[in-house]
Structure 1
Amino acid sequence: MRLLLKPAMLWGWVWILLSATIATASPGKKWNGVRNRLAKTEEKLYQGTVFDDQSIPLPGALVTVSGKNLTRNTNQKGYFELTASTGDTIIVTAMGFKPFKYVLNTEQQFAITLDIDNRTLPLAQSSVVQQIYNTVPKNLNISSTDAVYNADIMKSPVTSFRNAVTGRLAGLYTLQTSGLAGADGATLSLRGQSPVIIIDGVVTSLTTFDLEEIESVTVLKDALATAMLGARGSRGAIVVTTKKGSANKQQLSFSAQTAVQQPLTWSKPLNAYNYATLRNEALKNDGVPANSGLYYNQTALDAYRNNSDPINYPNVDYRRAITKNTAQFNRYTFSASGGNKSARYFVSMEHVNQGGFFTTVDSNTYNTNNNFKSYVIRSNVDLNITNKLSGGLYLLGRIQNTNEPGVSSGTIISNLLNTPANAYPLLNANNSFGGTQLFQNNLLAQTIGSGYRQRFFRDVLVNLYLKQDLSDLLKGLWMKGKVAYNSTLAEDINRSKSFAVFQQTGNAYAQFGTNGTQGNSNGIAYQGRMDYEEFSIGYDRSIDRHGINLLVLANRDNTTDANDAQALPYTIMGVSGRLAYNYDGKYMAEAAFGLNGSNRYPPAGNTKLGFFPAFGLGWNMEKESFMKPLSAISRLKLFATYGTNGWDNAGYFMYYPRYFDGPSPYFGTGAGTVTSVTEWTLANPNVTFEKVNKLNIGVSGAVLDNRLSFSVEYFNNKFYDLMMQRGDNSPLLGNVYPNENIGKIRYFGWEGQLSWQQTVNKLQYFVAINASTVNSKVLYFDEVRKPYPWMYQTGQPVDQRFGYLADGLFQSQAEVNSSATTAGYQAQPGDIKYRDLNRDGIIDQNDVTAIGTTKPLLYYGVSLGASFKGFDISALFQGVENRNVYLSGNSYWAFQNNGTGQAYEHNLNRWTPQNAANATYPRLSYGANINNDAPSSFWVRSGDYFRLKNVEIGYKLPTALVGKIGLSSLRVFANGYNLFTSSSSQLDGLSPESFAGGFPVLKLYNLGINVKF
């Protein structure tokens, strides 16, 4: 601990020393009287500032005068005031720091720096809550938030923070459906909605950049937390705060990491013999004549089984032929931070090289693999320009380069699903690419012989602010101005080429396609920019036991659509504000609002701007006198919020009537001079904002000397005025109806967190659990009138899947004859049997109903870790319950694409008379089967899974050892990502996330070293 003293404070220490000497020398009544007279002073106003160990002002610290019922909380600048007597002892406490005692003396202005509590583990890394435009002391926060910090984010060897937060934040659900390099970011859902991404107070779409530069990722979940976003607050927000410099000596850090990537799972296609056997069976089931020429004869079957003629009867595992089992992932990061009272800086640079899985050949003079490379530089500088004026300049530059085969990675993955093992040999006897008239897209040729294509991303983000302290006018008053600019560009280079394939018959070769020359074109894929302006004024003051925090902000956000160069700019502007009050850190009240709108609404009327208010109350119960006997309770807070948020979903100037004409905008007579004019979708002049009323109630606390912490929250969010098209409308109008603000849905659920952390001698350990449930209900959906109640979406969960209720498989012709018939289809044994809900004897659209679970989605994360004498280990488990997936299409069904598609190992367990009792797949059909392929509960499977998401083990060498070579620290570590997954056997071995046939999610084994000097 350090105490920062001004010269005059020396007299205080003299007084303390004198008092101690008198007390020690003679405890008698005479000397006691002298001491008491010396100590007796009038009360004075003391002003202090509390800093953390990085010399950064510490808001929310609790200052208590020992022996008196007098407490204060530091404000946003770490400042506090109190009236006390010289000789009184104050105790300063803050979560994550050691308590500090200080005896008041004649020095009425002083500063205190707190030391980190070595017993504190990663569960409590900050005493403040980061919000959109400000921070709030954690003990005074009453909005619903959760945060993860850099130490945990860096444990995952990924390129996007979206993949690093999985399982770590209550209320946030992530789903990663692809592991393709450069396109592997998980989708985010916050209490059922897609949240806004905010970086250092500016809305942006960037999520892939240097993880080292991230200080924290905070989710804002309730109406109060996002009220100041106004028309963009209804879906919640994710606030990314980047690292800033501190007034300390320069520290340099370098990290190097290298990882091995492996796909979690691929689909398992049949070999040529099984494929041919099952296709013959499918043809027979469908009654295809034996002389149709579609059947494989016994000669072919024997050749496929024996691999005796790989040219005429190939048996190729195309996936193994064109992909590798592993690929490299390398990351290098360098950062520097430091500064003084006048200037502080944080600078980082990162390079990532993520290798791809496609096969390459040395004969190519260019790269045909699907690689991803990025270069990111971050520079954050904060300045004290004068005693009252401060400012900062935050810069982010990002370069990303992707490379892939000329036909594109997506095309190759798609063709893997559509190409059976006996389609063609990859290479003929003369090393030409194999193929047929039906299969001309040789997968090896696509991978190594189609040239290459590249995309270059360029992004620049500039964030500049100036802040003026106006305490000369009114203590605690300040104003701030900010501007930001974001430019994004993606340029494509296409060097692809066509290729020919050859079908070998004996010594003859039939050619299909041509060997084209390599192209050389480039173009802008998209280009966009954003400019942001903000002005705010605030007041932050503690007066006696009253704490007041006021913020009023006006801003404008102007964006040019990167995907549509002809679109007009999209502009949101307005004002917002926040007022927070606390009494003695015990009772908290807060109100916030957003008043804004966009240029997508009619200029006249009352829909141009929307007003979105929210308020909340909080109570720190541990401060009450009746709680003092309950010494085991360290913290206990009740809080509740309610408010309205909005969402701007007006569409592109949909209030204007629009007409489109033909390519020749002129009128006249004669051929080619008549122009047709078509009216577009009907205009909606009454379009307004979508809205949501959000209720959040919670309790949080800690017991047993802060070792056991807990938090429980309930939320209920009613969305209304949602944009949707009327279903009960008339086609007589002859035009398309517009979207209108008529929909209503509700999301509700629970979130809970429980953690234990303790230090036993030199062993520190922690366990933390978070779990969330999300349920939903359609309150109003303007549906087409339907004859039966089970057909309606209203009353069902949002996005509920509809289809037929499967009742097993027909086991005999007698069962077929005694069951309801399917409209337009003659069922056979082995087909899926459906329930006749309206009992009319016919399976048709009137029997369609909700399928799959209606239980709330449950997702959770379990973190645990320990450290001992330089060693540390941590692990993260996460999982999902009550999740359904729908298996269908080329990745699961046999013989798609009119019978020419792939078949898979799970298709072996199809229904046959011999396997009727154990079949899990209906009888085979050649191509589409309108009965078995119909949407039904038969294809709804459990998507639940439990995963070991992350494990890290590290060792930090002793400081005394590394100091001899001029280093301040050296840590070596190893971690893994997606190491183990347990999922339902109903998925037939498919990934619970990337089950639809895309590029598999990856498993990574990573080694790294971090050096600081």
Structure 2
Amino acid sequence: MSEKKLFKNLRLFFTFLTLLFLSAQGFANQATPPSIQDSSQLKSIKFIVLDENDIPVKGIRLNNLRVNISVQTDSLGMAQINGILNDEIRVSLNDVFLRKYVVGTNQSQIIRVDGKNPLIMKQKAVVLTNDILVSPNMTTGSTQAVYNNDLVKFPVTSVKNALIGRLAGLYTNQTSGRPGADEVNVSLRGQNPIVLVDGIPRDLTRIDLEEIESVTVLKDAVSTAMLGMRSSGGVLAITTKKGVAGMQQITLTAQGGIQSNIKTPKVLDAYNYSLLYNEARVNSGDLPVYTQADLDAYRTGSDPIGHPNVNWQDQVLKNKSWFNRYDLNFRGGGTVARYYVGLEYQNQKGQFVESDMNAYSTNNNFSNYTVRSNVDINLTPKTTLGLHLFGRIINSSQPGANADNIFTSILNTPNNAYPVYNENGSYGGTTQFQNNIYAQTVNSGYRLNYRRDIITDLTLRRSLDEVTPGLWAQALVSFYSGLSENTDRSKSFAVYKQTGSGSTATYQLYGTNGTQANSTGTEYQNRQSYLEGAIGYKRSFGLHNIDAQIRATSDNVNSGSELGLNYYGGSGRASYNFDERYTAEIAFGLNRTNRYPKGSPMGFFPAAGLSWDITKEKFMPKLSWLNDLKLFTSYGRTGNDAAGYFVFQQFYVGSPSSYFFGTSASSSAALRQDVLANPNVTWEKSDKFNIGLKTNLFKNHLFIQAEYFNNKYSDLLTSANLSSIVGTTVRNLNIGINRYTGYELQLNFQQSLGKFSYFVSGNASTLQSKVIFQNEIFREYSYQSRTGLPVGQPFGYIADGLFQSQAEINSSAKIAGYAPVPGDIKYKDLNSDGIIDQFDQTKLGTSKPLVYYGATLGFAFSGFDFSVLLQGVANRNLLLTGNSEWEFQNGGFGQAYEHHLDRWTPATAATATYPRLTVGNNFNNDIVSSFWMHSGNYLRLKNVELGYTIASSFTRKIKVSSIRLFVNGTNLLTSSSFDRVDPETYGGVYPIQRVVNGGLSVKF
């Protein structure tokens, strides 16, 4: 698409949003709440409860202490009490209402009626809900949420990156820092969670953090059962901001930061490389290739062409780059219409150097344009229409040689391979190294990716109170369209090997100069249409509270060229609460997809939960330090759709020849059977048990929640290990069984001391997995069995130090197919047969439960606010192999690193931490063993933020609601048990970025 056409489409899109915004604002202005006359008896009183981000809060209960009448806020954060009903004065001036908090990190609040309507109150630390959840006091499920104020502290492009260290049970691991590809991998209690955006399944996490109201994790069976066969992995439920009744609020936030690489591999300079290379060749039985004159030239730098010393990381990577983000959002409305409109622009520069000779960028850049418009209109007093629109344009670029290939070249290219430039200005190169890394970076052209996403959600909700109070119905239609296009403008370049110097220099050409690619193609085109119909009932009868709903859904997904995938079925849940003491909840999902054989039954996934608020019991003593104590538990079955692409159908492929009773008939073509089908494929299942306790202590200053889960995953699609028996590859069968167990703990403490307030919060989780069954092949020795060990447990040899002498070698077990020498790795003979072979492989690393945790602390005082987030992992394995760990790989021409200086030699035998050096792959040393297994434990100073809000006495004078200045940093410090590499990104990938960021937020 041309830039002219692109900008034309953008103008049309923004014009449409502007008209929609103005229309919604017109509706809102027609319906501002009237004021109430100052009288002792009121016709009615209305409450609006907003959180600290001005987001409406559902499910907050307010009790009139005079007449013991309570009311609960709805989805708009509103609650209303009629002043007089049946001659009963239900509310009057000076009545006192007690507001009860849902999550007890704040104390309850007393509100006195003063005649103003509505009473707008601020609320902190509540569990916001979406349509799948119920009110917090009506659910028995395991959930936890992160809110907008914490999310926006991170200068990141994906909401997943802003969740690190915030939520118990959520494990994160970032494997790349490359712009546009730096999203962390997340797992929830060991599984991959599905992402819901406003209740609709879609993996859309690179969205504006400012537009997100909250992110809630749903962990157990009762909270996810309604998703049916997509419920086993848990849920990341993203709720976007909606409009609120009140004056229009405009917020502008501008911020910018400096990025730098956390850690890159420490390579050897040319002198040390050559010295060690000679040593390795001698150890390998070859002659050294570098003379003393060569070594001197590398050491002194006297011959930069013939004896170059180029640190390629310094040559092609910058010390810093820029990150910018700008947000503008509008929010407001009245009783008829409410709106939220948000616009964002992000720009993240890469770390590759660029050249002035290019009229285009060859850096790895990422930019993101996002628009969100959420408008809710009351068509009638009982009918609400919601029109929610989302648009996103992502532009990214990288060098024509591809960013990943450049890092691979850095791994494979020693500092003495060739100079950047020859004397005549041509690119240096050799027969072995024809990809000059600097030329790959700045002279290989460029590649572009354009991605466009549009979402439209239309919701119609109708109250059916005329049928019976509390009854409602809802219809939802959603459409998503995504397109990704790649433009290839890469070009080739030639390199030259210079021999001699000056006028007698000669140049050997390798490669071709200036061959230009010029193509544009669609990478993928995705579509999703989602339909949902629901009917629900929510009502209180004195001490009895009921909340129930039934839904029917159809989710059609078209991904690229694949045939459409359709999830369809129904779901439901019902919750009963008595006197806010006892809650019983049931939920179910009933669905299937078209990836299973015709006639297959629908999957049924039921779950149930119970909770008990002990402190409300009469037998409980009234303890001043114990404010709330609640037990909750759940059990149920969830599902996972892992069948794949029509694996129940048998496919046949062409074969150039055929066989008849073992006799070749090569002259005739034939069809042969492809991978053997699995006609009985079904969905994977999980039986989940969860039990927990939550309590509020010391006047609700301290909140504690502790949980234990035990999840059994069965019918896992696992290799049947039958290929050698049936003579062909067999598709995975539903035979695997795994179990995951763990403990989770959340702590929150906060207190106000006059103008000074502070908080401390933390979470810690353990995760233990176990293989119960996987149809394991016969293994002679029990220590080689995978069954009973953690899922994914690595296997290899147990290193027993380094051989120190020939006498030690002679007295040790023989290594099959290899004659070791002093300095080689020695392995344990586990079966005591005198031979080191495959029968001596066993589990490597720790089998202890994985532990991951996060802690946040901060304070606020006189306009200043400060917070710190720490995040870490324990009992984690780190297996380092390949080009980034071993010396002189890549056919013997590869890189070497500083840790190779600690290699074994006769002189360093007592202190060596690395085996003797060899060239190329070493049959004995370069295999998976405990020698290369290290601790992956680490603790990061993940985020720090300092802010200052300018006093309102000043902002009122300039007609501004508030001004906040802030500075924050991400990935500032790391302490790790094994600190030679970054504990998350290693092996020659784009390093994680450290970001120091500052900005300004203005509310009008």
TM-score by length of 1: 0.91
2:968 paired with 1:975: yes
- 1:352 maps to a residue whose letter is Q
Query: Structure 2 matches for 1:515-534, cutoff 5 A?
Result: 515-534=513-532
Following the alignment from structure 1 to structure 2, what is the Cα–Cα distance between the partners of residues 62 and 959? 31
CA-CA distance at 1:636 after TM superposition: 1.1
Measured at CA, do residues 74 and 898 of structure 1 come closer, stay the same or move farther in structure 2, by a change above 3 Å?
same
Alignment partner of 1:642 out of 635, 643, 665: 635
Is 2:138–2:575's contact at 8 Å kept on the other side of the alignment? no
Alignment partner of 1:210 out of 184, 208, 211: 208
Per the alignment, residue 586 of structure 1 pairs with: 581
Per-residue CA deviation, residues 564-585 of structure 1 (Å, 9 max, x unaligned), is x1x2111111000000010111
Alignment partner of 2:746 out of 753, 756, 770: 753
Per the alignment, residue 113 of structure 1 pairs with: 119
Per-residue CA deviation, residues 646-696 of structure 1 (Å, 9 max, x unaligned), is 00111111111111225999xxxxx99843212111122211110001111
SS of residue matched to 2:122? coil
Measured at CA, do residues 84 and 995 of structure 1 come closer, stay the same or move farther in structure 2, by a change above 3 Å?
farther
Is 1:726–1:737's contact at 8 Å kept on the other side of the alignment? yes
CA-CA distance at 1:616 after TM superposition: 0.4
- 1:476 maps to a residue whose letter is G
CA-CA distance at 1:287 after TM superposition: 1.3
Query: Structure 2 matches for 1:676-825, cutoff 5 A?
Result: 676-727=670-721, 729=722, 731-825=724-818
Per the alignment, residue 42 of structure 1 pairs with: none
Alignment partner of 2:374 out of 375, 380, 402: 380
CA-CA distance at 1:140 after TM superposition: 3.3
Per the alignment, residue 499 of structure 1 pairs with: 493
Measured at CA, do residues 174 and 384 of structure 1 come closer, stay the same or move farther in structure 2, by a change above 3 Å?
same
- 1:994 maps to a residue whose letter is T
Per-residue CA deviation, residues 209-265 of structure 1 (Å, 9 max, x unaligned), is 211101101110000110000000000010000011111111111111110000001
Alignment partner of 2:843 out of 838, 842, 850: 850
Per the alignment, residue 333 of structure 1 pairs with: 327
Per-residue CA deviation, residues 974-1010 of structure 1 (Å, 9 max, x unaligned), is 00000000112x342x101001210100000101001
CA-CA distance at 1:70 after TM superposition: 7.4
Measured at CA, do residues 487 and 662 of structure 1 come closer, stay the same or move farther in structure 2, by a change above 3 Å?
farther
SS of residue matched to 1:412? helix
2:875 paired with 1:882: yes
Alignment partner of 2:402 out of 394, 398, 408: 408
Alignment partner of 1:569 out of 557, 560, 564: 564
Per the alignment, residue 995 of structure 2 pairs with: 1004
Per the alignment, residue 434 of structure 2 pairs with: 440
Is 1:76–1:135's contact at 8 Å kept on the other side of the alignment? no
Measured at CA, do residues 385 and 500 of structure 1 come closer, stay the same or move farther in structure 2, by a change above 3 Å?
same
Per the alignment, residue 18 of structure 1 pairs with: none
SS of residue matched to 1:830? coil
CA-CA distance at 1:60 after TM superposition: 2.9
Alignment partner of 1:258 out of 237, 240, 256: 256
CA-CA distance at 1:343 after TM superposition: 1.0
Is 2:881–2:928's contact at 8 Å kept on the other side of the alignment? no
Per the alignment, residue 298 of structure 1 pairs with: 292
Per the alignment, residue 277 of structure 1 pairs with: 275
Following the alignment from structure 1 to structure 2, what is the Cα–Cα distance between the partners of residues 967 and 465? 35
Is 2:65–2:98's contact at 8 Å kept on the other side of the alignment? no
- 2:996 maps to a residue whose letter is Y
Is 2:723–2:729's contact at 8 Å kept on the other side of the alignment? no
Following the alignment from structure 1 to structure 2, what is the Cα–Cα distance between the partners of residues 9 and 771? 52
Following the alignment from structure 2 to structure 1, what is the Cα–Cα distance between the partners of residues 111 and 179? 54
- 2:471 maps to a residue whose letter is L
- 1:272 maps to a residue whose letter is A
CA-CA distance at 1:731 after TM superposition: 2.1
Following the alignment from structure 1 to structure 2, what is the Cα–Cα distance between the partners of residues 1001 and 608? 47
SS of residue matched to 1:249? strand
Is 1:97–1:115's contact at 8 Å kept on the other side of the alignment? no
- 1:304 maps to a residue whose letter is Y
- 2:985 maps to a residue whose letter is S
SS of residue matched to 2:404? helix
SS of residue matched to 1:913? coil
Measured at CA, do residues 457 and 778 of structure 1 come closer, stay the same or move farther in structure 2, by a change above 3 Å?
same
Superposition RMSD in Å: 2.4
- 1:458 maps to a residue whose letter is R
SS of residue matched to 1:592? strand
Measured at CA, do residues 845 and 941 of structure 1 come closer, stay the same or move farther in structure 2, by a change above 3 Å?
same
Following the alignment from structure 1 to structure 2, what is the Cα–Cα distance between the partners of residues 724 and 530? 30
Alignment partner of 2:387 out of 393, 401, 406: 393
SS of residue matched to 2:780? coil
CA-CA distance at 1:645 after TM superposition: 0.3
Per-residue CA deviation, residues 136-175 of structure 1 (Å, 9 max, x unaligned), is 3333332101110000000010110111110011110111
SS of residue matched to 1:926? coil
Per the alignment, residue 859 of structure 1 pairs with: 852
CA-CA distance at 1:129 after TM superposition: 3.9
Following the alignment from structure 1 to structure 2, what is the Cα–Cα distance between the partners of residues 140 and 250? 33
Following the alignment from structure 1 to structure 2, what is the Cα–Cα distance between the partners of residues 11 and 308? 96
SS of residue matched to 1:183? coil
2:41 paired with 1:12: yes
Query: Structure 2 matches for 1:821-832, cutoff 5 A?
Result: 821-832=814-825
SS of residue matched to 1:617? strand
Per the alignment, residue 62 of structure 1 pairs with: 61
- 1:113 maps to a residue whose letter is L
Per-residue CA deviation, residues 889-924 of structure 1 (Å, 9 max, x unaligned), is 111111011210000000110111111121111111
Is 1:129–1:141's contact at 8 Å kept on the other side of the alignment? no
SS of residue matched to 2:144? strand
Name structure 1 gaps, 5 residues minimum: 14-45, 118-123, 666-670
Alignment partner of 2:612 out of 616, 619, 625: 619
CA-CA distance at 1:612 after TM superposition: 0.3
2:949 paired with 1:939: no
SS of residue matched to 2:175? coil
Is 2:324–2:348's contact at 8 Å kept on the other side of the alignment? yes
- 1:60 maps to a residue whose letter is G
Per the alignment, residue 463 of structure 1 pairs with: 457
Per the alignment, residue 98 of structure 2 pairs with: 92
Following the alignment from structure 1 to structure 2, what is the Cα–Cα distance between the partners of residues 927 and 58? 63
Is 1:98–1:115's contact at 8 Å kept on the other side of the alignment? no
Equivalenced residue count is 951
Following the alignment from structure 1 to structure 2, what is the Cα–Cα distance between the partners of residues 76 and 461? 23
Following the alignment from structure 1 to structure 2, what is the Cα–Cα distance between the partners of residues 746 and 352? 42
Is 1:690–1:721's contact at 8 Å kept on the other side of the alignment? yes
Alignment partner of 2:982 out of 974, 982, 991: 991
Per-residue CA deviation, residues 301-346 of structure 1 (Å, 9 max, x unaligned), is 1111111111111111111011110001111111111111111111
Is 1:601–1:608's contact at 8 Å kept on the other side of the alignment? no
CA-CA distance at 1:86 after TM superposition: 3.5
Alignment partner of 1:366 out of 351, 356, 360: 360
CA-CA distance at 1:514 after TM superposition: 1.2
Measured at CA, do residues 238 and 561 of structure 1 come closer, stay the same or move farther in structure 2, by a change above 3 Å?
same
- 2:855 maps to a residue whose letter is V
- 1:572 maps to a residue whose letter is Y
Measured at CA, do residues 551 and 196 of structure 1 come closer, stay the same or move farther in structure 2, by a change above 3 Å?
same
Is 1:407–1:446's contact at 8 Å kept on the other side of the alignment? yes
Measured at CA, do residues 345 and 176 of structure 1 come closer, stay the same or move farther in structure 2, by a change above 3 Å?
same
Following the alignment from structure 1 to structure 2, what is the Cα–Cα distance between the partners of residues 397 and 863? 34
Is 1:59–1:136's contact at 8 Å kept on the other side of the alignment? no
- 1:814 maps to a residue whose letter is A
Measured at CA, do residues 57 and 998 of structure 1 come closer, stay the same or move farther in structure 2, by a change above 3 Å?
closer
SS of residue matched to 1:250? strand
- 1:522 maps to a residue whose letter is T
Query: Structure 2 matches for 1:940-959, cutoff 5 A?
Result: 940-959=933-952
Is 1:217–1:241's contact at 8 Å kept on the other side of the alignment? yes
Measured at CA, do residues 378 and 62 of structure 1 come closer, stay the same or move farther in structure 2, by a change above 3 Å?
closer
Following the alignment from structure 2 to structure 1, what is the Cα–Cα distance between the partners of residues 405 and 520? 20
- 1:139 maps to a residue whose letter is N
CA-CA distance at 1:48 after TM superposition: 7.5
Q: Could you tell me the percent identity over the aligned residues?
A: 48
CA-CA distance at 1:464 after TM superposition: 1.1
